[in-house]
Structure 1
Amino acid sequence: MLGLSGEVWRVWWKVAFLSFGGPAAQIAVMQRLIVEEKGWIGQDRFNHALNFCMLLPGPEAQQLATYIGWLLHGTRGALAAGIIFILPGALIMLGLSLLYVTVGQVGVVEGLLFGLKCAVLAIVAQALVRMSGKVVRGLAAGLLALASFTAMFLFSLPFPLVILAAGVIGMWLFRPGAAPEVESDTSPRMGRHTWLWTLLAWLGPLAVLAVVLGPGSVWTELATLFSLLATFSFGGAYAVLAWVAQFASETRDWLTAAEMLDGLGLAETTPGPLILVTQFIGFLAASRNPATLLDPLLAGSLGALLTTWMVFAPSFLWIFLFAPKVEKLRGNARISAALRGITSAVVGVIANLAAWFAINLMFAESRPVDRYGLDFNLPVATSIDPWALVLTALAAVLLFLTRLGLVGTILCMALVGLVLHLVGAL
């Protein structure tokens, strides 16, 4: 298929099925499998691609997979990596949506998913340790990483502002005297009209729906809303989900606020980007709209697929349009200095995501701190979940000490979580 080797397919499917826990964990998995284990690209080139994807709207981990796929095998590699990355999560989310509307809230896999979450937190911690050692070189880079973490975690500064500031500071702080050495340029050529075909594949369905069904159709509204989200969702899913939730539950009444939270819970426990929660919104919106004249489950499934396409198609467009130009800038001294600043800041960004994930996993309650310019949630110590602490520690032992590996650790922790649920401990 697409002329790619069996090993390539196996690695990308492995990345896809192990991509639990948000972008920090997903980036960690790619770095571990592609850079460290396979050695298909070097750490510097991986960082260069990651820095660029951090600047784009949309899910940065899926875009990073697409970028790396393009580096390795051209357009076909980009399509394979980008599609495979979201496919398992999209299919699982579709199945969970079907269960949700037919049998109610999905709780039969709570224990298994709890174990997975604990494993993911340990994986993120390991990634931070490894990435810090390879990226944060010198006091200046360390301070920049710490500053980005502080800005986002304690002061809730917007992600785009932090990244752009890091680039400007890096351009001054790491200004070199000569162009840096880079890996040999083996970048594949991009098809002359690849980006144009991708643009048509993204916006073509929207235009057809608007003409055939009209702007007031639920299908057209779903396509329009999630096209806008894909274009302006800088800073990751959390930066736009509040707006999406409000629009879907209050403005359009597609689902309730409680159902939106249920959808977030389902999305957080499936592989792939958290933005897959939009598929849940699309499913409920289409399945409950009598104007579709379709069976509710069929309408919901089509709504979910439409939503997923409109959210992720632009990610391919950004890579096809800009990646060749970004690769040509790797030897530019000033740009490299700016990207080194962004690389250092990315460590802080991932640390912020890890801290957010740890607080939400480990503690049942947190209280807002909003004074002296601070804006963060402080966990309530008495609300700590002892099982989350124990299972995360066990996962860390498996990863750091026994070196069991990603797959083994995830499977073991899922099994432990499932057993604890069955005996009533969770």
Structure 2
Amino acid sequence: MIEKPLFKDALKFWFKLGWISFGGTVGHINIMHSYLVDQKKWVSDSRFFHALNLCMLLPGPEAQQLAIYMGWQLHGKKGGLAAGMLFVLPSMFILLILSVCYVYFGNQPWMFAMFNGFKPAVIAIIIVALLGIGKKALHTPYHILLAVLAFSCIFFFNISMVFIILGTIGFGLIFNYLWPSLIHQESKKKLVPVQEKEYYFNRDSVAVGANSHKKDLWLQILIFMLLWAMPTVALYYFTSDFAFWRELTFFFSKTAFLTIGGSYTVLPYVAQYTVTKLNWLSKMQMIDGFALAETTPGPLIIVVAFVGFIAAYNHFDTSIPMAILGLLITTFHTFLPSFLFIFVGGPIIEKAHGNTAITNVLGFVTAAVVGVILNLTLFLGKDVVFPGGIGFGNLDVAALGWVLITFLLMKKYKVNVLYIIGISLIFGLLHY
């Protein structure tokens, strides 16, 4: 069996991962698998995919949670904290710099033109994600029906995603109880290496936290609540207009608990609610935020940091210091729960791992998310393709054409998103 890896070696990898993890969740997972399993043999294949399945059951960005879990298993709590924080901080700092540049130079004609080139590409990126998630989630006619119902609820009746998710869970539980055979999915057998002992953390290793006592779990929940409350208390005493900060804090804390199955689960909710209900930013600013987030490493959910930045920037009369504070507060409250879910929820869910009922219900939630993402596509896309309102006379032919071209490049020719963004900048300038 390989010796326990040195913490400094793991720290170097987690630091590097934060800066090179482009390509979304799949890219993050591939990088971790290549290094931890194939190169270093710190984690066996069976343990890696078991942890990935566990993270997919939890709310929050699964790639970050997978990093937290792996760091935790290799070097305890300090390893988990280091892996989780270094996964997010680089993309947060990059997005902070881009956000400041955005508000300073966004009204310049050349910058405005480049972002106009971005916008159609962002719609194409969302459509590609929609098709990818749909292919994985819509296994049966019942999943398709649920996706249609979820879309109808949010598109025609403007029902909150919170209620759609809760209703889907209830529907899934009832359906699983009454007709489980109709939605049962065969689990794919994963190949397990014969020589598990070649890996430090393998199939036979006792997972850290597997024997946690209730006292330890409650203590961790208490620590989490104190950490969560500290910025809120500081905002109450040291900033003006606490009502805004309270709303910002609670909104993004709530979104952290809704992110089941990846960033695209909660982004439609964030986009529609912050634009139409809270009026923190415009649709066009939201699309620009998607584009900026795609240029950073780390999870796509980091786009919420841009939302927090613009929300505070607009609310406090274009104050850059307040905008930066908004970005930091948003990032903190969005990603802090991931540590709680792993350190507390991980051991609990491991015991329920393989439970068919849980798997089926989560499958229903993912199916409903397909309908919600379709709504997001129409919600943002109509203003890009029909900037003057729905009507043939208002059709922006160049924007529609660029949506189709970038979609074809990503879907058929598998062009990297970073290249898509680069050529979209050039398209925007040429079109201008």
What TM-score do the two structures reach when normalised by structure 2? Answer: 0.66
1:282-293 equivalences under 5 Å are 282-286=312-316, 288=318
1:34-183 equivalences under 5 Å are 39=45, 46-53=52-59, 60-61=60-61, 64-74=62-72, 75-105=77-107, 107=112, 109-110=114-115, 111=117, 114-115=120-121, 118-119=124-125, 121-122=127-128, 125-126=131-132, 128-129=134-135, 131=136, 141-156=139-154, 158-174=164-180
Q: 2:405 aligns to what?
A: 390
Give distance in 2, aligned partners of 1:82 and 1:93: 18
Q: Give unpaired runs (5+ residues) of structure 1.
A: 20-25, 54-59, 250-254, 289-295, 369-376, 400-407
* CA deviation profile, 1:291-348 (whole Å, cap 9, x unmatched): xxxxx433432343234323433343344332221122115xxxx1222213432442
Report if aligned partners of 1:115, 1:415 keep a CA contact under 8 Å in 2: no
Work out whether 1:228 is the aligned partner of 2:250.
yes
Q: 1:345 aligns with which of 364, 378, 388?
A: 364
> Which secondary structure state, in structure 1, belongs to the residue aligned with residue 413 of structure 2?
helix
Work out whether 1:364 is the aligned partner of 2:370.
no
What is the CA distance between 1:83 and its match in structure 2? 3.3
Relative distance call for 1:104 and 1:7 in structure 2 (3 A) is closer
Relative distance call for 1:353 and 1:81 in structure 2 (3 A) is farther
Q: 2:304 aligns to what?
A: 275
The one-letter amino acid of 1:421's match is: G
Work out whether 1:197 is the aligned partner of 2:195.
no
Q: 1:422 aligns with which of 426, 429, 432?
A: 429
The worse-fitting range, judged by mean Cα deviation, of 90-99 and 355-364 is: 355-364
Relative distance call for 1:260 and 1:390 in structure 2 (3 A) is closer
Work out whether 1:305 is the aligned partner of 2:305.
no
Relative distance call for 1:33 and 1:348 in structure 2 (3 A) is farther
In the alignment of these two chains, the number of paired residues is 358
What is the CA distance between 1:203 and its match in structure 2? 0.6
What is the CA distance between 1:389 and its match in structure 2? 0.8
* CA deviation profile, 1:233-292 (whole Å, cap 9, x unmatched): 44724435555456755xxxxx6xxx443432332213231433123212443465xxxx
Q: 2:207 aligns to what?
A: 187
Q: 1:374 aligns to what?
A: none
What is the CA distance between 1:68 and its match in structure 2? 1.4
Q: 1:402 aligns to what?
A: none
Identity level (%): 15
The one-letter amino acid of 2:413's match is: L
Report if aligned partners of 2:275, 2:282 keep a CA contact under 8 Å in 1: yes
Give distance in 2, aligned partners of 1:349 and 1:380: 34
Give distance in 1, aligned partners of 2:371 and 2:80: 29
Work out whether 1:265 is the aligned partner of 2:287.
yes
What TM-score do the two structures reach when normalised by structure 1? Answer: 0.67
> Which secondary structure state, in structure 2, belongs to the residue aligned with residue 188 of structure 1?
coil
Q: CA RMSD in A?
A: 4.3
